[in-house]
C-alpha cells in the first residue's frame, strides 16, 4: 500500500554562513525610518520576538543555525521523535513509524528546504575596515544543502524524512547564458511524480559534489525572494527577458516555484520596492503571461504592517462581503488583508496557483482567524481555496515566535481546523503542487 505522506512545503536549511547579514544591517542602518516604521507597525514580528525574555528566541534559533545542514535535518527529526522533550511536554509526534497529528496518521514526512539566493552583485563597499563586499555565492549554500542531504541519508538510511530542496534564484545575478546553464544543470532529467522524487532522494547517499560535477543537482523546484531584490515582473528589456525565460522553463516542465509573500522578512532593498515586488498584484502579471505556471505565494500574503496607532484587532482579518462564486473579493479592502484577498482571486483565475501558511501557524490564534475567513467565503470559492492551501513551517525562521519545530506541528494538530482540511493542507494539496499527483 502506498505510504501516506505529510508535507512541510516550506522550511529552510540555513546555517550562519548563508545569510548576508551585513547587507541586512546596512539596509537597516541607512534606512532608519523605514526600519522604525516596519517594527512599530508590526510589533509582534522579528525584532520584538527575538529580543524578548533576554534574547531567548534568538539564542534558541542560533542553537539551530550553528549546526551543519546534515545535523540540522537530524535535529528536526529528533525533535519530532521527542528527543528534545522537556518535563511536561506531550508525547512524541513520531512514534512507531508514524507521524501522529491528532486523529490523522502519516507514514512519511517530506520536507522542502528552500534555498535563498543571498548574492548581491550590486553590493557596494561599506564603511568598515574590511570594506570589500562579502561573497555569498549561491554555489556554497547549494553545496552545503546537498551534502547535508547526503549526510542525513548515510547517517539515517531508514530515517523518517525525505528531503526535496528548492533552488534559490535571483535572475538579476545572471546573464541569459549563465541562467540557462544553471537551470539546465539543476533540472537536467527532472521528472514530476512522487516516485521519481523518492528515487532521486534515495540516490543522494552516493552524491559527491566535486567528483561528479556533470550530474543533475536534484532539485524539486525554484525559490525566489523579492525582498532580496528579485523583481517578478521588471520593465520590458533584458531583465524581463530573463524572468520570462525562468517562467517558461518551469512552466513547460511542471517545475514548481515558491515566492516569499508577506510584508516583512529578510529585506535588503528599500521598503516600498520590497512591497511592490512582493505584492500578489505583481504576480498576476506573471500568471497572465504564464497561466500554466505552478506557483506558491507563501504565507497566504500575510500583512503585519498597519498604520501606527491602529489596534491589531481592528486591522487584522477584516472580512469583505463575498458572494457565491464571485470573481472579485472584497470591493472595499482595508489593510492588512488585500494581499490575502488577491491571492484568493488568483486561485479562482489560475488552476496551478497555491499558497502556504508557513510561519503564520506559529500562533494558535491564526487558525481561528483562518477558520473565520474561510467561513465568510461563498461555497464555490471556499472549495477552490480548500484545495490550494499548503502546510508549511518556515523552520527555523519560525523560532522567532515559537519554541520548536515539534510545537509548530502540535499547534496545527490541535487547531480547530477540520481533520479533512488538515489532511488536504498537509497531504493532498502539497502532493499535487510538488508532484502533480
- pLDDT for the residue 41: 45
Higher-pLDDT residue of 13 and 43 is 13
- What is the distance between the alpha carbons of residues 236 and 145, in angstroms, rounded to a whole number? 35
pTM: predicted TM-score of the whole model, two decimal places: 0.89
pLDDT band for position 325 (cuts 50, 70, 90): very low
- Above 90 in pLDDT, residue 73? yes
Note the pLDDT tens digit of each residue in 222-238: 999 999 999 999 999 99
pLDDT in tens, 92-139: 999 999 999 999 999 999 999 999 998 876 666 566 777 776 777 888
Q: What is the pLDDT of residue 217?
A: 60
Task: Read off the pLDDT of each residue in 63-84 and give the average, rounded to a whole number.
Answer: 97
Domains located in the chain, CATH noted: 5-124+133-435 (3.20.20.140)
The pLDDT of residue 125 is: 57
Amino acid at each position: 500500500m502506498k505510504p501516506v505522506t505529510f508535507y512541510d512545503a516550506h522550511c529552510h536549511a540555513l546555517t550562519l554562513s548563508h545569510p548576508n547579514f551585513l547587507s541586512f544591517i546596512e539596509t537597516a542602518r541607512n534606512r532608519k525610518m523605514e526600519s522604525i516604521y516596519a517594527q512599530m507597525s508590526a510589533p509582534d514580528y522579528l525584532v520584538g520576538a527575538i529580543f524578548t525574555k533576554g534574547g531567548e528566541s534568538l539564542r534558541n534559533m542560533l542553537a539551530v543555525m550553528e549546526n551543519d545542514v546534515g545535523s540540522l535535518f537530524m535535529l528536526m527529526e529528533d525533535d519530532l521523535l521527542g528527543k528534545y522533550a522537556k518535563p511536561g511536554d506531550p508525547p512524541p509526534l513520531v512514534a512507531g513509524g508514524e507521524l501522529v497529528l491528532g486523529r490523522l496518521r502519516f507514514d512519511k514526512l517530506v520536507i522542502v528546504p528552500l534555498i535563498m539566493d543571498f548574492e548581491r552583485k550590486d553590493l557596494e563597499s561599506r564603511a568598515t575596515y574590511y570594506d570589500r563586499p562579502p561573497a555569498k555565492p549561491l554555489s556554497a549554500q547549494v553545496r552545503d544543502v546537498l551534502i547535508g542531504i547526503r549526510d542525513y541519508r548515510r547517517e539515517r538510511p531508514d530515517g523518517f524524512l525525505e528531503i526535496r530542496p528548492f533552488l534559490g534564484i535571483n535572475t538579476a545575478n545572471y546573464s541569459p547564458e549563465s541562467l540557462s546553464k544553471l537551470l539546465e544543470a539543476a533540472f537536467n532529467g527532472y521528472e514530476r511524480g512522487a516516485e521519481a522524487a523518492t528515487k532521486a532522494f534515495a540516490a543522494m547517499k552516493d552524491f559527491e559534489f566535486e567528483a561528479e560535477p556533470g550530474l543533475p543537482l536534484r532539485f524539486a523546484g525554484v525559490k525566489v525572494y523579492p525582498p532580496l531584490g528579485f523583481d517578478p515582473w521588471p520593465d520590458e528589456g533584458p531583465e524581463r527577458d530573463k524572468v520570462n525565460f525562468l517562467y517558461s522553463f518551469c512552466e513547460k516542465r511542471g517545475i514548481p516555484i515558491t515566492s516569499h509573500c508577506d510584508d516583512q522578512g529578510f529585506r535588503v532593498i528599500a521598503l516600498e520596492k520590497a512591497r511592490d515586488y512582493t505584492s500578489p498584484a505583481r504576480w498576476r502579471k506573471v500568471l497572465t503571461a504564464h497561466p500554466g505556471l505552478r506557483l506558491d505565494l507563501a504565507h497566504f500574503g500575510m500583512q503585519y504592517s498597519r498604520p501606527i496607532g491602529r489596534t491589531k484587532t481592528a486591522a487584522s482579518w477584516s472580512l469583505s462581503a463575498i458572494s457565491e462564486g464571485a470573481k472579485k473579493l472584497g470591493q472595499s479592502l482595508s489593510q492588512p488583508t488585500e494581499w490575502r484577498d488577491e491571492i484568493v482571486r488568483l486561485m479562482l483565475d489560475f488552476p496551478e496557483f497555491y499558497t502556504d501558511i508557513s510561519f503564520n501557524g506559529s500562533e494558535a490564534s491564526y487558525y481561528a482567524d483562518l477558520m473565520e475567513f474561510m467561513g465568510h467565503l461563498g461555497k464555490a470559492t471556499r472549495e477552490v481555496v480548500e484545495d490550494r492551501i499548503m502546510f508549511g513551517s518556515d523552520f527555523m525562521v519560525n523560532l522567532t515566535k515559537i519554541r520548536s519545530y515539534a510545537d509548530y506541528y502540535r499547534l496545527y494538530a490541535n487547531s480547530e481546523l477540520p481533520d479533512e482540511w488538515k489532511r488536504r493542507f498537509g497531504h493532498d494539496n502539497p502532493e499535487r503542487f510538488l508532484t502533480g499527483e
